[in-house]
Structure formats: C-alpha cells, structure tokens
Chains A and B, each alone.
Chain A
Amino acid sequence: MVGSRIGAGAALLVLGLAGAAGAQVDERLAAYTGRNAKGYLAPLVDAFRSNLNSALFYSAYVPTRGFYVSLEVNAMGTFFDEDSRTFVATTEGDFLPEQSAKAPTVIGDNDAVYVDGNAATQFAFPGGFDVDNIWFACPQVRIGSWKGTEAMGRFILYDTSVSELGSLTVWGAGLRHSISQYIERMRPVDLSVSVTGQRAQLETDDSRDVLEARLVSAGVQSGIALGGMYPYGGLSANWYEMDVRYEFEQDSELEPIALDYRYDVEFQLTLGIAYRLSGITAYGEYNLADQNCLAAGLSVTFPFNSRSTTP
C-alpha cells in the first residue's frame, strides 16, 4: 500500500503553521517525497530565516561602561512575494510521463494543480494555505556594557503538544561592540559591529531531530540620536542552513526523508527607527534581503537612566 503518513512529520509546523494547522501541513507533505517537499516548504524555511535575522538590534549606540539590562519582546513578520507562492514540482511515483508543473507552495493558492499523463491518467499536486505573511515572536535580553561591548540573548521554547514532534527550542546569542567610541569625530553618529549565532531545534520525545537550523549573522550598524527618535540602519551578511527529517510511508515501510537546505551567504539591509521614553523603547524596522521582513518591538531597560539612545 502506498501510504502517506509522516511519522515525525510536520517539521515545518513550527515555522509558522502552529497548532491544529500543523496536522494539515503534515497531510500535504505526505503527497510529496524529497525533491518536491523541499520546494513546497521553501517559503517557510526562508521566512524562518528572515524572522530570526530581524530585531537583533535597535541602536548602534553601546555605552563604553555601566551596567544595564534590557528586556525586549520582538514580533517579526515576513511578507511573501508572488514568486514564493509557486514552485516547479515534478510528478512522482509511477506516473508517466514524468513532467514538471508550476504548483502551489505551502503558502500558495488553495487549489490543487493537475497534469495529464499517458492514457487519461492524471497527477495532482496539493494546494497551499494561501498565506500572505508569517509572524514570529520572541523575547530577548540585552546586557552591557564592558568596554563598549554588550551581549544579547534570545530564547524560545515551544511545546508543540504533539508527541511525535516534541518541543521547539530556539536560542541565539550575540555580541555588539561600539566602533564609534574610538573615533571621536564620528559624533553624533554611532557605529557598531556585531556577530550573532542562532540555533533552532525540534526534537521528538525520543530524542530524534526533526528540524535543526543554524544561522550566523555578522554586521555593521549605524544610527544617530535625534531627540527621542533614533533612526538606525545596518548591513549584515547571513549564513543559514536547515535540515528537516521525517519519514514517508511507502508500501508499508517508513522511508526516511531528509531535506537539507543550504544557502549561500545572504546580505541584508536593515532600516529602522526607535523611540525612547524613559526606560522604555519602541522600535520598528524593515529588513531587505532575499525575503523581506518587518519587525517591531518593545524594550524595557534597567536602570531607566542607562543606555540612553540619546547620549
């Protein structure tokens, strides 16, 4: 029997289609084995990258000394372009002749796409979820400063409540160092450099990895204080890879499917603005990269008079 059950399935549930919707991703993935599944899920993988690469900073200013801690909450949203809605899918199994067609990705149109084969046979590609954008939220903490250097950390733990999926863990850590502290004539413009590493892992209850993603970002940031407002920008280089593992039932046997997403270095331009009132800062930014992303956040800094964006 050709089945279509994904044992550990719905790996991408965690990438945006949470909860009950995850099971639906699972069912659609079941129609695909490796090569099509990779294209089908690619927009979500890209969106995960874009979202994680956002809201890493909202100021290029790093005090040279003095203790502060900022508790931050970020929301990041990726907006899918038209190209993300389809991919070139290839017929699978015993269908003849093998042929390719433009089929919906997981975020594409709802309607299945059919291709005609030999002798009145047909092959159908599943529809998508017709999603325009995906939002992601994460808390973050920032601690400084030692010689113009601050540390940032973010951590997400999400229990999928699905035993076959287990829990998603995302953690990231980064360092930012002030460059403008060394260049007096740069004032009032701030300049800093940073490096951030992030890792996401979805592990089943029996310790099998369903998803593992690694992301490294190195960049330079700049900004200037204009009263309470702080416009900022940054340019970064990002390295990203993701592995997805699941099982596909065919002829009553479970075949392991491995989807390895490997990307060349991606460059990202960030433009944003922050507004600080006492110890609370609100910020919003737009990130231009392979997949554009909007992010906004709120930060509470202790002590309130520290780490002002208007030094």
Chain B
Amino acid sequence: MVQLVYLARLREVFGTAGENVDLPRDVATVASLLAWLARRGGAWAAELAPGRAVRVAVNHDVARAETPVRAGDEVALFPPVTGG
C-alpha cells in the first residue's frame, strides 16, 4: 500500500486530500505511478498528461520520473511551488 497525498490545486481538482492505494506490480516508479493514475480519466488524465507541470515528492524528498515507489511510501503530487 502507498499513501498518496494531493496538495493545493491538485487536491481541489481531484476532490480529495489523498488516498491509500495498492499498486499493480508493474507500477514501481514515479513515472509509472502517474501514468497509472492518469488512466482513471477525467481530471486525472487532464492533470497528469505528459508535459503537465506536476511535481512529486516521495517520503518528503523531491522525486524524479525514475524515482522508485515502494509499498509503505508516502507519495505527494503537487503543482509547481509558489511560496516566498
């Protein structure tokens, strides 16, 4: 099980602050996780389409497309940051 966290605008468009999901065996990286979520269609497909600016953190560290995702991880999806 992976804990997904959605922040800021993504929380609003997905309509939830997060969820726990069991990943299929072939979903083992950030890139494959985003592609798997995009297959839900609707807002998921629109927001997670290739080329959209989605940032990802795995266990509170900024992640890249190839960063591994494993059971027990906390994976956060969010828009580019705008603090300061």
Tell me whether A and B are bound partners: no
Listed in ascending order, the chain A residues whose CB lies under 8 Å from chain B are none
Listed in ascending order, the chain B residues whose CB lies under 8 Å from chain A are none
